[in-house]
Amino acid sequence: MTFKKRTVRDLDPKGKRVLVRVDFNVPLDKGAVADDTRIRAALPTIRLLQARGGALALVSHLGRPKGRDAKLSLAPVAKRLGELLGREVPLMPDAVGQEIARRVRALEPGDLVLLENVRFHREEEENDPAFARALATGFDAYVNDAFGTAHRAHASTEGIARILPAYAGLLLEKELTALGGILEHPAKPFLAIIGGAKVSTKMDVLRSLVPRVDALAIGGGMANTFLLAAGHGVGRSLVEPEKETEARRVTDEVEGNGKTLLIPVDVVCAPSPDEDGAAAAGVFGVDDVPSGQAIVDVGPRTLERYAGVIGRAKTIFWNGPLGVFEVPAFANGTRRVAELLASSGAVTVVGGGESVQAVEEAGLAEKMTHVSTGGGASLELIEGKTLPGVAAIPDR
């Protein structure tokens, strides 16, 4: 697709102070960054602006703090970013205020600082205009490179873009081009693999994909509702009986239009969906799920069917794990799909969340065409919703 928004390539940052919204909402473990994927994804925009003589301040949120919370400080992020860039990245004590404005005005070309967690202020999520103005103080331009929060109309994603000259970062452009491309002009056959726990959270995505795809594969807990709708027993599995009618409607729409619907034909079941149940897990056909057990993964025959469709596909979109992915014994289906996509030769777009974690852990991220940094944002884009953080950036 043609990217219509103004980007950092259209900005001359020389001698300017630029506020860059990044998505550094990363997992922490014992006070250190546990996964730096999102930090690394922002480096191309940071390096481009610095190389062209811009003075940069980065702004991000981390977690869901209720006011100031030392456990959700961006200090570990500043440390990791400094390691990746080979230079110290000072962490400002706040995101707004007189002291911050003074230090912003003192920034020299090539300087780089990180503002403290912007969600320490409740006005951020309220998109408070006065807070957006305070955030903009001292800056000459604004760049949004935070695809993961582009679906939120917050002060640092939408409000500020109405105050400062606004541009899209390289990551935001890359995300929108990749995801928009598979929606507008996918090479056929187009396969979507949708997993995750609940069908209720993905129903809008399914409805949006059904007219576009040639094949739809459904796994994870949400597949249990489709199995129930098809007349299969699901034992003590996670299931949403109230969504049975909608699942049947999706099934009818896919199959009624001569498309392929893949739901499990065999499954891994266990007495409990945790480590304790792993030792007693077994494979069952979908007609033979034990009444006292829960479905925790797709089975080998299901994976064979997936493999056949993946092998024929020219475009594949994948979002969501196919089993209880956080338990290693029940992650086989998810891992196998990651391997199949990596070796498929198709255009492969992995849309956020645990499917990204799966390809990263398997060391296969580099073999995918695009791995999205935004779970909720990528799904809302697929659903056809307007992303406020993107809409606020002027067209070229």
Q: Is 352 a catalytic residue?
A: no
Contact criterion met (CB below 8 Å) for 5 and 390: yes
Contact criterion met (CB below 8 Å) for 168 and 5: yes
349: closest CA among 146, 192, 185, 188?
192
| Catalytic-role residue among 159, 299, 353, 374 | 353
CA angle 58/370/79 to nearest 5° reads 30
CA angle 23/29/31 to nearest 5° reads 85
Sorted by sequence, the CB contacts under 8 Å of residue 256 that are 6+ apart come out as: none
Q: Is 196 a catalytic residue?
A: no
The two beta strands, 347-350 and 370-371, are: parallel
For residue 187, count other CB atoms closer than 10 A to its CB.
Answer: 12
Q: Where are the alpha helices (DSSP H) in the chain?
A: 37-51, 75-85, 98-105, 122-125, 129-136, 170-184, 203-209, 221-229, 244-256, 275-278, 300-312, 332-342, 354-361, 375-382, 388-391
The C-alpha torsion from 241 through 245 and 250 to 251, rounded to 10°, is 80
Sorted by sequence, the CB contacts under 8 Å of residue 387 that are 6+ apart come out as: 150, 151, 377, 380, 381
What is the three-class DSSP state of 159? Answer: helix
Sole residue written with tokens 């077994």: 282
| Catalytic-role residue among 5, 17, 21, 38 | 38
| Catalytic-role residue among 6, 52, 79, 198 | 198
Q: Is 376 a catalytic residue?
A: yes
For residue 307, count other CB atoms closer than 10 A to its CB.
Answer: 16
Sole residue written with tokens 């600082």: 113
Contact criterion met (CB below 8 Å) for 38 and 375: no
369: closest CA among 170, 175, 144?
175
Cα(157)–Cα(372) distance, integer angstroms: 18
Q: Is 353 a catalytic residue?
A: yes
- Active-site residue list: 38, 198, 353, 376
